[in-house]
Structure 1
């Protein structure tokens, strides 16, 4: 608990202060974002849960194929082995956090419940038990003590920093995360449980960016950077001189990237407000490269369902505007007409003669 014990030593760099000001400006718009996407929020949250499930499974090194991971994350699947049971547990835990994360109870019991729910029916997870020597009358005896007591002390320091010292929320969460890593409170999967706790604390601090984007996907994408920042944060931890600013700044940047994506989605939503759903897909394809994939459409149209995208692709295919290019996981689509012709109404495939006529018309 060396970070939280010495949290009053924290100094903030100009970069950190600037990033924090941007972050809280975005956070102030969270309710606006929910209003803009109110008709689609349930679908957005379902996709976020699916991504959190997939990338948490990767972080835990579960031996499940990519295709099977996607199926489990999106469908009601029957588990075939213990790793798949854990993945299904992950999905249920993320559902709970999305629905009740703002009410997360900062207690050793609540953290234990999340850990147990994650590995339920597979492996027993709990607080480490240490054997310590204790004076009893004139004798020294060995007794077993749970690290849960230390965890309770840690969380009391967290609450003190939050309520009495009024330390900024991301900084306290970062310091607790580092303390949990170094103190190894749990007998198994301590690193993952520490990360899950960090996620819950950010959610409780009302950073609702994680309704729209996957925390675990972003963490996985920046895994090397997180390892480097965590290593820097734990240096000097034993002596109480750990510097967590680099790690804190990385967590803030992760959220800023998420909010920037939401801002882009808001602009697209306003642009597409007067278009129907299928026209939105067609308008999106018009802006894309000649070869494109359905996954790229999903990324650009996060509020649209897969069935809507499929209907749009089927319609464009029947109108000879696009055709499939390959099959299987690497399948893509190819535009057969110029971008400006992918609109509602009659279209035809351009030939060399058509191009020549267009050039002549332009010279008139």
Structure 2
């Protein structure tokens, strides 16, 4: 089995792109600190909306879906899950809530990762919930035409418990001793976790939950207000390509993890930029139409209703639709297309 030694990370010479990404993340983190420290109903609404989007998209990446109406009711605890997909969605919601509310007290350890997996699958009656894989598994990508491609062969079930415990120990030691920049260390840990692939099912979802947990514990709260899972879902091909390239020679300890680090840093930076936009749009005393106006001012070229919804999470869909209609009538924006193909452009 390969070895893991995170103390050697500091020996790596990082290129200017990675250093620029890290600098930019800290820059935008600073710009959003005041916004996220406010106490307001709108900020609470933003947190709830982000949890919903993160739960939906993280499961959708794995093909776990239900109807929009049933999803909303499950998230609001208004109905019980009726099939395997909905039970897995409910479990994901539960562990994400635990991370959001208790991240400071949650350890990074093999046993707690197993506990996370158990909670995520608790409603499915899966006998392997919270247990290490019992068969050799593979990292694959599923294409729209139904074809599947094997990207990577993880380590064996026999080696998995030791490897999982080792990467947790290495991460904790590096973080506690301030040996490595957290924004470098977190992607490396997540990449190793995915290459170990400790579970028969649920590795991708657990990796995204771990990303959120480790970012929180390192003081980066962007995923509480912006769904990083959604950003990953929108760039899924890039995600799998970075994972595949970084996995080459992983078993021989000669992997080049830089593509995966750049990908994750890019996602975090995109999240902070989106949070900065949302902090600009969300203000307590603005009318709905003025909030929509501010959102539109951030858009270049044409935009959709969904684009505005993403920037105005505190507004209801009906308020956004009404505001867009009023702005069309006022001659501030122009509507083109019909149905789902409707786009808007600024006129003023």
What is the CA distance between 1:199 and its match in structure 2? 3.0
2: CA distance between counterparts of 1:43 and 1:36?
Answer: 13
1: CA distance between counterparts of 2:180 and 2:251?
Answer: 22
Asked if residue 112 in structure 1 is aligned to residue 114 in structure 2, the reply is yes
2: CA distance between counterparts of 1:188 and 1:314?
Answer: 46
Q: 1:90 aligns with which of 89, 92, 117?
A: 92
Asked if residue 180 in structure 1 is aligned to residue 185 in structure 2, the reply is no
2: CA distance between counterparts of 1:284 and 1:150?
Answer: 46
Instruction: Compare CA radii of gyration and give the structure with the larger one.
Output: 1
Q: 1:162 aligns with which of 168, 175, 179?
A: 175
Task: Look up the match of 1:262.
Answer: 275
Task: Look up the match of 1:215.
Answer: 228
Q: 2:249 aligns with which of 225, 236, 240?
A: 236
2: CA distance between counterparts of 1:256 and 1:43?
Answer: 22
Per-residue CA distance 1:232-262 (angstroms, 9 max, x = gap): 2111212211111121111111111111122
Farther off after superposition, 44-53 or 77-86: 77-86
Q: 1:298 aligns with which of 288, 303, 309?
A: 309
Task: Look up the match of 1:42.
Answer: 44
Structure 1 residue runs of 5 or longer lacking an equivalent are 131-143, 341-364
Task: Look up the match of 1:226.
Answer: 239
* Matched residue count: 322
Distance 1:308 1:225, change over 3 A: same
Which runs of structure 2 are paired with 1:314-333 in the superposition (5 Å)? 330=340
Q: 2:202 aligns with which of 189, 196, 199?
A: 189
What is the CA distance between 1:27 and its match in structure 2? 2.5
Per-residue CA distance 1:7-49 (angstroms, 9 max, x = gap): 3442211111121112122223443121457441110011101
Distance 1:77 1:2, change over 3 A: farther
TM-score (norm 1): 0.73
Q: 1:55 aligns with which of 52, 57, 68?
A: 57
Matched-pair contact (CA < 8 Å) for 1:108–1:152:
yes
Asked if residue 246 in structure 1 is aligned to residue 243 in structure 2, the reply is no
Distance 1:313 1:219, change over 3 A: closer
TM-score (norm 2): 0.76
Structure 2 residue runs of 5 or longer lacking an equivalent are 136-156
What is the CA distance between 1:106 and its match in structure 2? 0.9
Farther off after superposition, 308-317 or 115-124: 308-317
What is the CA distance between 1:84 and its match in structure 2? 0.9
SS in 2 for 1:40: helix
2: CA distance between counterparts of 1:120 and 1:255?
Answer: 30
1: CA distance between counterparts of 2:208 and 2:343?
Answer: 39
Task: Look up the match of 1:127.
Answer: 132
Distance 1:3 1:146, change over 3 A: closer
Farther off after superposition, 15-24 or 277-286: 277-286
2: CA distance between counterparts of 1:72 and 1:326?
Answer: 34
2: CA distance between counterparts of 1:332 and 1:228?
Answer: 32
Matched-pair contact (CA < 8 Å) for 2:35–2:279:
yes
Matched-pair contact (CA < 8 Å) for 1:127–1:146:
no
What is the CA distance between 1:115 and its match in structure 2? 0.7
1: CA distance between counterparts of 2:27 and 2:293?
Answer: 34
1: CA distance between counterparts of 2:311 and 2:242?
Answer: 31
2: CA distance between counterparts of 1:287 and 1:174?
Answer: 30
Per-residue CA distance 1:116-155 (angstroms, 9 max, x = gap): 111113113212469xxxxxxxxxxxxx968434322221
2: CA distance between counterparts of 1:162 and 1:218?
Answer: 26
